[in-house]
Amino acid sequence: MKKVAILVILILVSITGSVLAENNNQILLDEVQFLPQSPPGDWSFNSNCGPTAALIMASYLQDFSPTVEHLKTAIDWLYNNNYIVPQTSYGAEHYDGNLTNMGQLKKLLENHWQTGFVIKRNACHLDKLRQEIEKDNPVMVAVHIKMNTAKLGHFMVVIGMTDSEVIVHDPGRTAGQFNRYDLDTFVNSWRTASNCASLFVEEQVVTWHPDGALISSVNESDVYVLIDGKKNLIDSDQVFEAHDFPRDMVIEVSDLELSCYDDGFIVDWQPVRELFQVEDGTILLYEKASHDSSHCALYEFSSEFAYRSWTIDERLQVLTDQQAEDQYFWRCDLMDTLYVRDGTLVKPNYPISGFGRGVVFVASGNGRLRAFSTEQAYNEMGYADKYLYHANQNELEGSFRLFDPDITMEMAHRCLNSYYITGGSYDENEMDMDNDGYTVNKGDCDDADPLMHPGATESCNGLDDNCNSFTDEGKLCPDGATCLGLAGCYYQETFTDQDLVEPEPEPEELEDEIEPEQDPCQGVSHCLSCRTEQDCYAFDSCDGNNQVSFSGYCLYEGYCHREIIPCQFGCLNGVCNTPQQPDQDQIEDEPEAEMEPDSPEEQDNCPSMDDLVTCTFTCPADMQAYAWYASFGEAIGSPSVTVNSPLRDICLRGQPWIDFNCACLYPSLWSCYDHTVATIECNLPFDRRAGGNGEGEIWFPGIQCW
Amino acid sequence: MRKFQFRNFLIVAVVIATALFISGCTRYEEGKQDNEPTTAGDWIAYTANDFEFNYPDGWFVELAQRHGENDELIYSLLVKNTDKEVVLGGSAPDDYYIEVSGKSEINSQKYTNYYALINVNVTQSSEGWDDFFAKYYPDSVTGFETVDLSFLTDNETVQATSHNAVYLGDPRYFIRSGEFVYDIALHVNGVDEGQAQEVFKDFIQNFSF
């Protein structure tokens, strides 16, 4: 008896298991109500599968029960708007309707039932179909009656899927609810009947893509390239090919999105292009606007990876420098450097500082990379099936210039011509464009900068951070320092040797303090925060003790790159005064007390150029330490490295500093790096800072190289 | 006697006009083309591969062949009175309608909705009528009755009287001949119904069951 019971249990388990297996990964919108396409009319001559399928979708999305009266109203709407005419068949009834197509049914959904924007897609991708079902979104498909390719064209509504079946409401049968077809049969019919046409309602539509994107309406074949936020029509296939645009990167967008861009120019020229590589490996692009053009231009690719991203279908010539000069350089203008081509998708295979590993970027603005903030943004903007370049550190470095703000769903839903749809608002000032919680109407004085909004902390940066109509108000700088607006806090008091260069917070401390919304320059002198390169300017400033030279580059850490140079002889015209022959009187006039070191050892040791500078940089055990100094020196060690060099060599760069970094050894050298994890010991006082290119720097404030 | 032959397949579906939905895997062989006559004068022999067939003079013939789900060979014949494309069912291609002066009109360069055509399905079956409909037309043909066609005396014929799903054509006859059942229907749109009926009758009379 016991054995029988066990057997029964095993059988039940087996049956249950097989049922579960059959329903594996089933997703079903079981609350979608069904209505057959007849009545009204009768089954003969009945052509109402289209409006009935649309009604099934609309009733679910708008939460009403579909009835014959609803269907008759829809058929009347199609007649009244001249989309269909009554059939002329003998025996056909008024409410037998007539043939409809996807374009008409899209209008029926959008305009009659006002479901919101409807996407028509031709793509034989079951995963995309499933994605819509998972979003609680039934999908209309153009197939055949009973999925039989030998039968008539028909519309059904997909309401569920399993690993092996599609579940539909088929309005062409009285018993058409929850009909199941195996996936192969379905796809065969779907593809044969309509090249996999589908309709679904998009509740919130993507209406923006970054510059460089190639876009095309789902309803038209015209392709546009986005430049400066405008859509520029590519005049013909020949023009498209001549520009080496990658065909597989064209993104289908809604008509609404197309209407969101102002018209730019018509791309109607077919450039003549040649590629060549010179002796140092640099690859250049020669370009003329046409065969007849007498003017030519040369563009240098910033890296081989950048060159590949341009997908230029020309043979690469390898030339000697002399050949390149003779053939190209003497007669062409040298133009901008070409970085990764705008619109290119790049996925670094190493962690990027500030982003981590696995982030996907899209290039935009010749050398600017923008990360997708979420996978949803990446998918919904149509990039999921586009070509993705995987790049290692060697390939990517030098292929771009800087990072721009991440692409968020908020950005994807904006509309640049002041026609806004998100949240039902049609007012730009009602939109929170920088995602800081404030709109213009709510007092955001710069809706492109998330650091600026009511309630934000005011910083010394020349901006009205808290949007109270006052700039840099209040006490924003430490004691003894003055806020100079854009140039940050400046110390006006006399410097001692120890604070000849105002010490900045240790990077570790700084990073601990940094939160995404915080200003990295807050409380830091000579610092200008930035989000893009446009926020930085190249300029020099001098306050009598230090010259601060801003290079115009925005560092990853969020502030403008600058060098702080102590001035031995004061300032002249905004920079350090460097007299050719120092006036002895002037030197003597320099207050001795101000130059005297505070520390006893420095009081005793005025360093000479022959003195050794000894610094040890120690990285974690699984990293390798690097130090760069003078104009040539590189020292490497694991996990630490010691620089032992005469001051004369350290000063070969004109200023006394050493660059350093810690590089990961695994999975490969430089697969990651972080200068902030290094500990440093030196025989001279030093200031530690974050430098360019993700490196750290130490400066010796007590050293005057010249 | 011209014969309509069957080889190596269980079900031969002769579905007029459905070839419009079968593109890449089909091959059409065109018969005589004409521009929209409704009536048939002489009957013309149509011969292609295994087929010997009669079609009305002035009508248009297409033959398609493909392999079905079980690798059986399936033939489709298209016989219509126009050389333009005819779309049947409820789903129209994107270019079926064009906008003219703000109104949606059929793209008459490519398509026509003035036509007469005949729909034939051929099924190999020895079941009685009840079992036949239950097996091959479930949830579709829900009622039928015996009819006596004066122009077709040697065959057992029923007419579908009620349906529960979309179907094409009126009248629609099911004609049993040997081990095959022929589902034959007439579909007329915008042309002379009476003349089309005459052609339909002659078509059945001339058909080589």
User: Under an 8 A CB cutoff, do B187 and A89 touch?
Assistant: yes
Instruction: Tell me what pLDDT residue B62 has.
Output: 67
Domain boundaries defined on chain B: 11-206
How many domains, chain A?
A: 3
User: Under an 8 A CB cutoff, do B92 and A99 touch?
Assistant: yes
Chain A residues in contact with B18 by the CB 8 A cut-off are 150-152
pLDDT over 50 at A425, yes or no: no
Q: Chain A: nearest CA to B145, how far in angstroms?
A: 17
Of A88, A92, A154, the CB nearest to B91: A154
User: What percent of chain A shows pLDDT beyond 70?
Assistant: 76
User: Under an 8 A CB cutoff, do B104 and A100 touch?
Assistant: no
Average pLDDT over residues A24-47: 87
Provide the terminal-to-terminal Cα distance of chain A, rounded to the nearest Å: 102
Assess if residue A185 is contained within a domain.
yes
A293 or A417: which carries more pLDDT confidence? A293
Is the preceding omega at residue A86 within 30 degrees of 0, hence cis?
no
pLDDT over 80 at A67, yes or no: yes
Are residues A534 and A618 part of one domain? Answer: no
Chain B residues in contact with A108 by the CB 8 A cut-off are none
User: Under an 8 A CB cutoff, do B97 and A45 touch?
Assistant: no
pLDDT interval class at A573 (50, 70, 90): low
pLDDT over 90 at A51, yes or no: yes
Average pLDDT over residues A410-427: 52
Average pLDDT over residues A403-418: 76
Of B74, B104, B166, the CB nearest to A43: B166
Are residues A510 and A613 part of one domain? Answer: no
Chain A residues in contact with B163 by the CB 8 A cut-off are 42-44
| B192 vs A: CB within 8 A | no
pLDDT interval class at A688 (50, 70, 90): confident
Final residue before a domain boundary, out of A598, A623, A639: A598
pLDDT over 90 at A104, yes or no: no
pLDDT over 80 at A584, yes or no: no
Chain B residues in contact with A107 by the CB 8 A cut-off are none
Average pLDDT over residues B169-179: 81
Are residues A530 and A481 part of one domain? Answer: yes
For A88, which residue in chain B has the nearest alpha carbon? B190
Assess if residue A78 is contained within a domain.
yes
Provide the CATH number for the domain around residue A149.
3.90.70.10
CA B40 to each of CA B36, B80, B115, B187, B197: distance values in angstroms, whole numbers, following the listed order: 11, 11, 13, 16, 11
Instruction: Tell me what pLDDT residue B9 has.
Output: 33
Instruction: Tell me what pLDDT residue A674 has.
Output: 87
Of B15, B91, B163, the CB nearest to A43: B163
pLDDT interval class at A443 (50, 70, 90): confident
Q: Mean of the per-residue pLDDT values for chain A? A: 78
Provide ipTM, 2 decimals: 0.73
CA A26/CA A160 separation, integer angstroms: 7
Do A13 and A20 meet the contact criterion of CB atoms below 8 Å apart? no
Are residues A638 and A572 part of one domain? Answer: no
Q: What pLDDT, in 10s, does the model give residues A145-179?
A: 888 776 678 999 999 999 899 999 999 888 898 99
Among A518-532, A586-600, B145-159, B168-182, whose mean pLDDT is lowest? A586-600
Chain B residues in contact with A44 by the CB 8 A cut-off are 163, 167-170
Tally of CB atoms within 10 A around A632: 9
CA A293 to each of CA A136, A177, A243, A275, A276: distance values in angstroms, whole numbers, following the listed order: 56, 66, 16, 18, 20
Are residues A185 and A40 part of one domain? Answer: yes
Assess if residue A501 is contained within a domain.
yes
Are residues A543 and A692 part of one domain? Answer: no
Are residues A614 and A551 part of one domain? Answer: no
B12 or A541: which carries more pLDDT confidence? A541
How many CB pairs below 8 Å do chains A and B form together? Answer: 133
User: What percent of chain A shows pLDDT beyond 90?
Assistant: 26
pLDDT interval class at A419 (50, 70, 90): very low
Are residues A497 and A638 part of one domain? Answer: no
pLDDT over 90 at A234, yes or no: yes
What predicted TM-score, i.e. pTM, was given to this entire model?
0.46
Average pLDDT over residues A679-695: 84
Are residues A485 and A561 part of one domain? Answer: yes
- Tokens standing for A125? 């991708």
Q: Which domain holds residue A573?
A: 477-581+591-598
Are residues A38 and A163 part of one domain? Answer: yes
Average pLDDT over residues B48-54: 64
Are residues A179 and A68 part of one domain? Answer: yes
Are residues A627 and A502 part of one domain? Answer: no
| B13 vs A: CB within 8 A | yes
Assess if residue A355 is contained within a domain.
no
Instruction: Tell me what pLDDT residue A3 has.
Output: 53
Assess if residue A194 is contained within a domain.
yes
pLDDT over 50 at B7, yes or no: no
Chain B residues in contact with A103 by the CB 8 A cut-off are 94, 97
For B164, which residue in chain A has the nearest alpha carbon? A174
| Residue B121 parent element (H or E) | strand B115-124
Residue matched to tokens 């430089």? A670
